[in-house]
Structure 1
C-alpha cells in the first residue's frame, strides 16, 4: 500500500479508511481519508498496523541545498529500505522538535526531495559532516531527546584518533596490531622521536582523507620533513621544530611509528576494511586495497593513491586473523564510544607479514568498489531493522 504527503494540509494520509495505521517510535497515527488529492505517494508494508522502520538520517545543514552529505549513500539506502517497506528521511539539527521532525524524503516518481514533517523515528543514523556540529547545543538537545525516548542513535560521533587508538590498546590482542603512537605537540616529543625511531607519521587527531599528514625521517646527520607536496631537510631538532610548529597550527596531532609495509610494484599499500554489525558480532563487509603513488606519503585516493584488488597482491590475506581483529575492534569501539552500525579501518601489512591498524573511522565515505558499497548499504538496512526491532525477514 501507499502513504501520501499532502503538501497543502501538511499531513500524512492513507486510503484504508477501515484500517488504523501507526508509525515512528511513539506510534503516531496516520490520518485515513476517502479521497487523496496528493500525487506524492510512498510505498510501505504494514505489519500489525504499523509501518516502518522509520529511519532518520542526521545530515549537515546547507543554506542553499537544505542539507548536504553523502547523497549517493542516502539515495541508495532510501531505495533499499523502500523495497522492504521501510521509510527513510533526511533531517538536520534545525528541524528537530520535541514530538516531530521536519525533514526530507525522496520521491522516486518525481526524483525530488520533498520537505515533510515526520514523527520521531524508530532509529537515527548520524551522518553529520562537520565535527563542530557534534559539540553544538542543538546536537546535545537531540541526543538527550533520543535517549529519553529510547530511540537508537548509531555512529553517534566522529572518532578522535588518539582516543580510539589509546582505548584499543587496552585489548591484549589488538595492542599487538597498533604501531607505537604518542601525542605530538612540542619539541620534547620531537626529540623523543628522533632518538626512538627512524621514521614517523605525524597525523592530525581529527583529520580525514590524508589531509594534514606529513612524515619525519631521522638519520644521524639530518631530519627530513615530507608533506604531500614537498620535502625539506633540517640539521638540528630545533630548526626542524620551528618548521613543524608552523604546520601544526595549534591543532592536536599524534606521531605514529612508520611501519615497513609490503609493496605492490614497489609502492606501499594498505587495506581499507569496512565492517558491519551482525547481531552480536562484527563482520567484514569488504576489503579494498589502496596503493600509494610514487613519492607520495599516504595511500588515500584524494592524495594520489590508486585502487587495487586483493587478487592483485603478492601476499595471501590471512582472513581468520583479519576477521578476529575486526570483531574485537568493533566490540572495543562500542564499549567506549556508543552504539555503532558500521566502521572502517586502514590496515597495513608489514614486510614480515604482521597486521597493523593505522586508523579507524566512524563515518566511512563511499567505497570506490561498487560491490563493497552495495553490500555496505544492504548491511546498513539490516542494521536499521535489527536495532529498531523490525524483522525484515517477516516484515509484511
Structure 2
C-alpha cells in the first residue's frame, strides 16, 4: 500500500517515496515526487509489481449531481469511497462535460474537511456508470461524448439503463430463466391489449424505459366485461376495453409492455416481493444481499417511494430460497451480459407466486440504494473487488 497526496491550492498530485517512480490511470501517467506536505489530502492506493498505483475509479454521474454533492450527499457514493479507501484505491466523481483529450476534472473526497473538492486526474482505470437520467443518457450528445471516452479503452461497468422489452427477450430466451418470467408482450395496438386481458384477466402496463414503478398501471377484467384501471394516483372503471384504450393508451404504441399479473404470496394481507442485489465476481454472479418490500397504501407496487415498506426478511423466511435465488442471479447475469456488454451489478424484483414459484418482474442496471446497511455495504465491497479484478490490482 502506498500514499499519494493532493495539494488543493496548486492542484498537484504527488507521492513522497524518495527515489521511486510511479504511474497511474488508464494511460499510465507518471505521478511526480514532492517532499511538500502543506495543504494536502492523502489517499491510500495499491501498487503493482510494475509500480502502477491505483485503482483509479471513475464514477460517471451528471453535472447536477456534482453541483450538489456537498449540499445533498449521496450516502451510497460516500460509503463506496470509504470502502475503496480502506482497501486501497481512489474514487473520482465526474461528468462527461468535464472530459478533455488528456484528463478528466472531477470531485474527490477530502476527509480532512469532510467535503468533495475539485481535482484534475488522468483517465481512470475503470468507469462505474451511475448516470441518473435515463432520457439524457439516450440523447445523441451523451452518446457522442461517451463514444469519445470509450476510445481510451476504459472498461465501463453498466454502460446504459436496461430496456424492459430487451430484458424480457434476453430472459425468455435463456434456458433456465424462461420459466421464471411472466408472459410479456410489446403493446403495439388494441389487439395486443384485448388478447392479454382475455388470456390473463389481470395485466400490468409498464413503460419500456422507466424505473421505481413510474408510469405503471394495472388492468383487471371483470366478469361483466368492465375493466378496472389502476395507477398510483387513481382507480377508474371503464365500461369497455376500447374506451379504456382510447382514454389511456392512445399514442403509446411501441413504448409499453403488457405483462401477465402474477398472484403473489402475501404477509398480513399485503403482497410483497424480493429485491435481490447481485455483482459480477470473475465468471460468476453472486448475490450481495436480499431485501423484502411490501405494498401498503396500494397493491400496484412495493416501492417505498410509492407507499411500500421494508419488511424484515425473517418474517417471510419460508418464501426465501437462497439457493434458487442464487441460480436466478447467475442466470440473469449471463443473459444480461449477452445484450449489455460488461454487467458488473444489477438488481432484480422477484415475486413468489401462490404456487411457490419465483417470477422476475424487473431487472435494474442502476440499483436503488438499499436501506439495509448490511446489503449496501456488501454490495460496495463486491463492487470494489470487481474494480480490482478488472484493472489488474489485487483486492
Query: TM-score scaled by structure 2?
Result: 0.93
**Where does structure 2 lack aligned partners over 5 or more consecutive residues?**
none
- Alpha-carbon distance change, 75 to 123 in structure 1, aligned in 2, over 3 angstroms: same
**Range moving further from structure 2, 154-163 or 68-77:** 68-77
**For residue 334 of structure 1, what is the aligned residue in structure 2?**
337
Match of 2:238 among 234, 238, 255: 234
Unaligned runs of 5+ in 1: none
The alignment status of 1:51 with 2:53, answered yes or no, reads yes
Partner of 1:97: 100
Alignment equivalent of 1:270, drawn from 235, 250, 273: 273
Residue 279 of structure 1 is matched in structure 2 by 282
SS in 2 for 1:44: strand
Within the candidate set 135, 154, 160, 1:157 is matched to 160
Structure 1 counterpart SS, 2:328? helix
Find the aligned partners of 2:35 and 2:265 in 1 and give their Cα distance: 67
Q: How many residues align?
A: 391
Deviates more, 1:49-58 or 1:231-240: 231-240
Query: CA separation in 1, counterparts of 2:249 and 2:56?
Result: 48
Q: Distance in 1 between matches of 2:249 and 2:141?
A: 34
Residues 116 and 6 (structure 1), Cα distance of their counterparts in 2 relative to 1, 3 Å cut: same
Q: Which of 228, 232, 249 is the aligned partner of 1:224?
A: 228
Matches within 5 A, 1:56-75: 56-62=58-64, 65=67, 71-75=74-78
Is the 1:276–1:343 contact (alpha carbons within 8 Å) kept by the matching residues of 2?
A: yes
2:352 is the alignment partner of 1:349: yes
User: Cα 1:63–1:194, aligned 2, differ >3 Å: closer, same or farther?
Assistant: closer
Partner deviation per Cα, 1:335-387 (whole Å, 9 max, x = no partner): 11110111000001110111101000001010111111110111111111111
Distance 1:191 1:323 in 2: 36
Kept after mapping to 1: 8 A contact 2:189/2:253: no
For 1:95 and 1:250, locate their aligned partners in 2 and report how far apart those are by CA, in whole Å. Answer: 38
Corresponding residue to 2:303 among 300, 305, 309: 300
CA contact (8 A) 2:55 2:393 kept: yes
CA distance in 1, matches of 2:299, 2:233: 8
Alpha-carbon distance in 1 for matches of 2:140, 2:197: 43
> What are the Cα deviations for residues 280-318 of structure 1, in whole angstroms up to 9, with x where unaligned?
111111111111115431111111111112310163422
CA positional deviation for 1:145: 4.1
Q: CA deviation at 1:52?
A: 0.5
Partner of 1:376: 379
**2:23 matched residue in structure 1:** 22
Partners of 1:42 and 1:107 within 8 A in 2: no
The Cα of 1:270 is off from its aligned counterpart by 0.7
* Local SS of the residue matching 1:378: helix
Question: 1:9: Cα distance to partner?
Answer: 3.4
* More deviation, 316-325/120-129: 316-325
Distance 1:219-1:316 versus aligned 2 partners, 3 A rule: closer
C-alpha distance in structure 2 between counterparts of 1:47 and 1:173, whole Å:
40
- What is the deviation of 1:131? 1.6
Displacement, 1:188? 2.2
The answer (yes or no) to whether the contact 1:334–1:340 under 8 Å persists in 2 is yes
Moved more, 183-192 or 86-95: 183-192
CA gap 1:58/1:332 in 2 versus in 1, 3 angstroms: same
In 2: Cα distance, 1:289 partner to 1:275 partner:
15
1:113 maps to what in 2?
116
Tell me the SS of whatever aligns to 1:110.
Answer: coil
* Separation in 2, partners of 1:370, 1:275: 15
